[in-house]
């Protein structure tokens, strides 16, 4: 490589971006999986290119100080297939996903923008079902969809319907929750069972159909978060463990905060049917997506109060204390297994692959 | 599903480990043959609660890991052809051939799909009569019945657009190859429970007798594995070399005869190359000549594809239990799940991937 400075050379070919982009001359599915490949794409391409202090926080949403107040801004795209799955559809996800990103900043969601990329030939009746589902979800969550955009691409250049939503929220607390605020000793609270959404979608995905009564957990979490803040304004960090699952969420926080995390494998609630489906496909429930769950880091002395508030809310009925942040092994998540041994919980590389047998 | 929590009971696991501790008087090396068992051992940390005298050697029973580079290259060549829908079990997608993997050809436009059952690939061929649907039929005896059924069904349906790329491997010849190796350190085997659920365990008594080695048919949950290890140690300590069934809730002596009949009808034994190990005589299944019209290698003319393995990759020594994954100089350096040199780093069942995924290279004591 030429060691002279070269203006025509874009940053990501230079030393700021070492391994991942060179490893993959083309984008692979794993770059969108929420696993390590996604994290590397963000860290080595997007953050250096856009370089704003808000982006560098790598929160679920950005918090901006505007005219005397703080607002949270979040955006999320939805490309799920199939569009309708047990327990939900792409429209609901598009509303809940962005509301939840705002809620993870402790923000009260106010308004959403929605952009649609539609494929030529896509059924108008199906589009209407999706849009009505979005409207119902927004209304139920008390959030308005206030602006939008529509583009149509040629047949074969899209997958029916993609939706991007962007949301604006009002930040309640003066110091919003952030992974960097987590300190050793914090209790790790999980709002309910994991892996429901990912397994519900997988149960109906073409080529993987299996009959199991599993429903997506898609839900707006802002009211649960509000109840938690009422119980304890001192919540250090919140994450909704979507793609990459609980494993990715805990690893991101451990790395951002420079703490270790210890959890108890058996304390993590998993629905028995979901656990069986994961077992059958060789997937780790901790690495499977959720759309209506959150993980919270709170000072130990407030843990039982927050846990009680969570359990009193319909979306947190099965909330559990699953572990603690620790000073040992910073950046690493360790689980105590059922037989009393330990294992390290890592972030999956890319797409979770069903195992052969 | 029953049989999940019951077989992960902490106090019962500790009690079994304690029984093993009290029984053991010297060092023993025991091989769990199946990759699913390796995965479970590392995931639950079974080896951490065993007495230090017991060494578990991770065997070659990961079908993804032992599928030869050449076969992957054939898969890539077929998947890249226009009009082909290439169907595979998920974890084959990231296994490197000599230059790239199925994900890479997929990102360039090849139609590669993950299926859970080969019968789904047959259905796909029915739905897409103008496309050629190819199923990557790999695996041990466990996956063979479904793969054979797919061939039978395609034949019954008269499908002209369905074929199989077959690279089946067999457990007993692999056990025998390990026992015949001059480097062999294995003193007892945990036979793979799922393979035995299909094949039974009638093939094992001659091996146990000839090589004076205990063989215990073992399941996959923590209590299954600990019970298998306990029985193996009991035999070793008392100088016995017998075949025992510690997975009786699933496995019978004769196995699933209906499944064996379907296999027999569609497949015939053949010499097979094992990635990292080499050629093992009569260690695989291929399609019978009567099913040659469903053979993707013939249909797509890939019989001549040849490939070399990475010289840096020591997966062969890992698969034979000569070294542990983290003892390979490339482990975690040149070779990671993102840049796998060998398939043992790719599959969830691969010993290297299991060590890497569960952080064995950076495992540290946990306080409290």
pLDDT digits (tens, 9 = 90+) for B154-190: 999 999 999 999 999 999 999 999 999 888 999 999 9
Chain A closest-CA separation from residue B210 CA (Å): 30
- Provide the Cα torsion B181, B183, B189, B193; round to 10°: -60
- Contact at CB, B91 and A26, closer than 8 angstroms: no
Alpha helices in chain B (DSSP H): 10-23, 35-44, 46-49, 63-66, 69-79, 102-107, 118-127, 144-156, 171-180, 193-199, 204-211, 222-237, 257-266, 296-299, 315-319, 351-357
- Residues of B with Cβ-Cβ distance to A282 under 8 angstroms: 39, 91, 348-349
Query: Tokens 């089946």 identify what position?
Result: B168
What does the block give as tokens for B215?
Answer: 């063989």
| Phi, psi at B273, each rounded to 5° | -80, 135
The distance of Cα B278 from the centroid of its chain, to the nearest Å, equals 16
- Contact at CB, B44 and A343, closer than 8 angstroms: yes
Interface residue B357 vs chain A (CB under 8 A): yes
Alpha helices in chain A (DSSP H): 19-23, 36-41, 47-50, 53-56, 90-103, 124-141, 196-204, 222-231, 245-257, 272-281, 303-311
Section A215-231 average pLDDT = 97
What's the pLDDT at A206?
59
Please give the Cα distance from B103 to B90 (Å, whole number). Answer: 10
Q: Which of A157, A274, A339 has the highest number of chain B CBs within 10 A, making it the mutation to test binding with B?
A: A339
- Contact at CB, A279 and B1, closer than 8 angstroms: yes
Topology of the domain comprising B65-170+256-299: Rossmann fold (3.40.50)
Chain A closest-CA separation from residue B49 CA (Å): 7
Q: Kindly provide the b/e burial profile for residues A306-343, where b requires at least 16 CB atoms within 10 angstroms of the residue's own CB.
A: bbebbeebebbeebbbbbbbbebbeebbbbbbbbebbb
- Residues of B with Cβ-Cβ distance to A328 under 8 angstroms: 364, 366-367
Tell me A87's DSSP state.
T
pLDDT in tens, A55-67: 888 888 888 888 7
Please give the Cα distance from B102 to B350 (Å, whole number). Answer: 18
What's the pLDDT at A268?
97
* Upstream peptide bond of B283 is cis (omega within 30 degrees of 0): no
- Residue A152's Cβ-count burial label (10 Å; 0-12, 13-18, 19+) is middle
Q: Of B154, B144, B145, B86, which is closest to residue B272 (Cα–Cα)?
A: B144
pLDDT above 50 (res A211): yes
- Contact at CB, B359 and A346, closer than 8 angstroms: yes
Domains of chain A: 60-174 (3.30.1330.10), 179-345 (3.90.650.10)
Q: How many C-beta neighbours within 10 Å does residue B47 have? A: 16
What's the pLDDT at B345?
81
What's the pLDDT at A313?
98
DSSP A149-200: EEEEE-TTSS-SEEEEEEEEEEE-SSS---GGG--TT-EEEE-S-SSHHHHH
Interface residue B2 vs chain A (CB under 8 A): no
pLDDT above 90 (res B203): yes
pLDDT in tens, A118-133: 999 999 999 999 999 9
What's the pLDDT at B62?
83
Output A44 or B207, whichever has higher pLDDT: B207
- Contact at CB, A356 and B139, closer than 8 angstroms: yes
Q: Which of A28, A262, A279 is opposite residue B107, by nearest beta carbon?
A: A28
Q: Which of B4, B116, B140 is opposite residue A354, by nearest beta carbon?
A: B116
Do the domains spanning B6-62+180-245 and B65-170+256-299 agree at the CATH topology level?
yes
Q: Does domain B6-62+180-245 have CATH number 3.40.50.1370?
A: no
Q: Which of B120, B121, B143 is opposite residue A357, by nearest beta carbon?
A: B143
- Contact at CB, A355 and B89, closer than 8 angstroms: yes
Q: Which of B107, B124, B222 is opposite residue A339, by nearest beta carbon?
A: B222
| Phi, psi at B89, each rounded to 5° | -65, 150
- Residues of A with Cβ-Cβ distance to B356 under 8 angstroms: 346
pLDDT above 60 (res A22): no
Any idea where the domains of chain B sit in the sequence? 6-62+180-245, 65-170+256-299, 315-358
Q: Of A75, A33, A80, which is closest to residue A216 (Cα–Cα)?
A: A80
Section A199-220 average pLDDT = 82
Output A48 or B295, whichever has higher pLDDT: B295
What's the pLDDT at B349?
64
Interface residue B45 vs chain A (CB under 8 A): yes
- Residue A202's Cβ-count burial label (10 Å; 0-12, 13-18, 19+) is buried
| Summary mean pLDDT of chain B | 90
- Contact at CB, A346 and B8, closer than 8 angstroms: no
The distance of Cα B232 from the centroid of its chain, to the nearest Å, equals 21
Chain B closest-CA separation from residue A315 CA (Å): 25
Section A131-143 average pLDDT = 97
Lowest mean pLDDT among A127-131, A335-339, B290-294: A335-339
**Alpha carbon separation from B187 to A118, A280, B223, B246 (Å, rounded):** 62, 31, 21, 18
pTM for the predicted model, two decimal places: 0.82
Please give the Cα distance from A250 to A259 (Å, whole number). Answer: 10
- Residues of A with Cβ-Cβ distance to B14 under 8 angstroms: 339-340
Interface residue B362 vs chain A (CB under 8 A): yes
- Contact at CB, A343 and B349, closer than 8 angstroms: no
3-class DSSP state of A38: helix
Q: Assign A352 a pLDDT band (cuts: 50, 70, 90).
A: low
Query: Tokens 């009680």 identify what position?
Result: A308
Chain B closest-CA separation from residue A216 CA (Å): 19
Lowest mean pLDDT among A55-64, B203-212, B213-222: A55-64
User: Which residues, in sequence order, are CB contacts of B93 under 8 Å at separation 6+?
Assistant: A353, B101, B102, B103, B106, B112, B114
Section A320-344 average pLDDT = 93
Output A114 or B315, whichever has higher pLDDT: A114
Q: Which of B45, B139, B368 is opposite residue A337, by nearest beta carbon?
A: B45
């Amino acid at each position: 490589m030429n060691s002279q400075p070269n203006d025509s050379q874009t940053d990501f070919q230079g030393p700021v971006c070492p391994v991942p982009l060179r490893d993959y001359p083309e984008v692979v599915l794993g770059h969108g999986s929420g696993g390590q490949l996604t994290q590397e794409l963000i860290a080595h391409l997007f953050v250096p290119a856009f370089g704003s202090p808000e982006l560098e926080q790598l929160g679920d949403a950005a918090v901006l100080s505007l005219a005397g107040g703080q607002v949270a801004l979040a955006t999320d795209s939805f490309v799920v297939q199939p569009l309708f799955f047990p327990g939900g559809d792409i429209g609901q996800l598009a509303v809940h996903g962005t509301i939840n990103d705002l809620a993870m900043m402790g923000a009260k969601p106010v308004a959403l923008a929605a952009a649609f990329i539609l494929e030529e030939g896509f059924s108008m009746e199906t589009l209407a079902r999706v849009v009505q589902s979005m409207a119902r979800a927004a209304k139920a969550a008390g959030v308005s969809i206030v602006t939008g955009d529509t583009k149509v691409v040629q047949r074969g250049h899209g997958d029916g319907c993609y939706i991007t939503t962007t949301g604006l929220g009002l930040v309640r607390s003066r110091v919003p929750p952030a992974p960097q605020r987590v300190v050793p000793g914090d209790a790790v609270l999980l709002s309910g069972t994991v892996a429901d959404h990912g397994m519900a979608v997988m149960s109906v995905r073409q080529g993987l159909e299996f009959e199991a009564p599993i429903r997506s957990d898609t839900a707006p979490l802002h009211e649960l978060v509000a109840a938690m803040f009422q119980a304890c304004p001192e919540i250090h960090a919140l994450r909704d463990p979507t793609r990459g699952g609980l494993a990715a969420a805990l690893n991101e926080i451990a790395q951002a905060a420079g703490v270790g995390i210890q959890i108890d494998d058996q304390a993590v609630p998993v629905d028995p049917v979901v656990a069986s489906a994961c077992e059958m496909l060789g997937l780790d429930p901790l690495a499977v997506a959720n759309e209506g769950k959150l993980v919270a880091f709170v000072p130990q002395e407030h843990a039982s109060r927050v846990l009680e508030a969570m359990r009193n809310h319909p979306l947190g009925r099965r909330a559990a204390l699953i572990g603690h942040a620790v000073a040992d092994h910073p950046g690493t998540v360790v689980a105590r297994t059922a037989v009393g041994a330990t294992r390290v919980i890592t972030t999956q590389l890319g797409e979770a692959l069903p195992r052969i047998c | 599903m029953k049989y999940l929590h019951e077989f992960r009971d902490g106090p019962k696991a500790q009690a079994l480990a304690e029984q093993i501790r009290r029984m053991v008087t010297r060092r023993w090396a025991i091989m769990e043959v199946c990759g699913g068992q390796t995965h479970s051992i590392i995931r639950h940390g079974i080896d951490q609660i065993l007495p230090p005298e017991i060494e578990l050697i991770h065997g070659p029973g990961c079908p993804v890991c032992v599928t030869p580079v050449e076969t992957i290259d054939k898969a890539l060549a077929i998947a890249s052809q226009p009009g082909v829908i290439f169907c595979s079990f998920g974890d084959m997608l990231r296994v490197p051939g000599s230059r790239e993997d199925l994900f890479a050809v997929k990102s360039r436009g090849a139609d590669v799909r993950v299926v859970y059952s080969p019968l789904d690939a047959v259905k796909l061929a029915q739905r897409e009569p103008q496309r050629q649907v190819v199923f990557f039929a790999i695996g041990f005896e466990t996956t063979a019945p479904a793969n054979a059924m797919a061939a039978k069904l395609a034949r019954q349906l008269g499908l002209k657009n369905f074929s199989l790329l077959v690279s089946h491997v067999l457990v007993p010849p692999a056990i025998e190859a390990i026992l015949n190796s001059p480097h062999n350190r294995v003193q007892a085997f945990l036979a793979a429970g799922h393979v035995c659920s299909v094949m039974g365990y009638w093939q094992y008594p001659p091996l146990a007798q000839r090589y004076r080695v205990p063989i215990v048919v073992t399941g996959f949950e923590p209590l299954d594995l600990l019970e298998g290890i306990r029985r193996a140690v009991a035999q070793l300590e008392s100088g016995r070399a017998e075949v025992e069934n510690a997975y009786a809730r699933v496995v019978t002596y004769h196995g699933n005869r209906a499944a064996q009949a379907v296999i027999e009808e569609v497949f015939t034994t053949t010499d097979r190359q094992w990635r990292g190990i080499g050629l093992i005589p009569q260690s695989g299944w291929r399609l019978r000549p009567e099913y040659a019209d469903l053979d993707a290698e013939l249909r797509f003319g890939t019989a001549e594809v040849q490939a070399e393995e990475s010289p840096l990759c020591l997966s062969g020594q890992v698969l034979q239990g000569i070294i542990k994954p983290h003892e390979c100089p490339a482990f975690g350096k040149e070779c990671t799940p993102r840049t796998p040199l060998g398939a043992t780093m790719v599959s969830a069942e691969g010993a290297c991937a299991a060590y890497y995924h569960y952080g064995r290279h950076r495992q540290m004591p946990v306080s409290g």
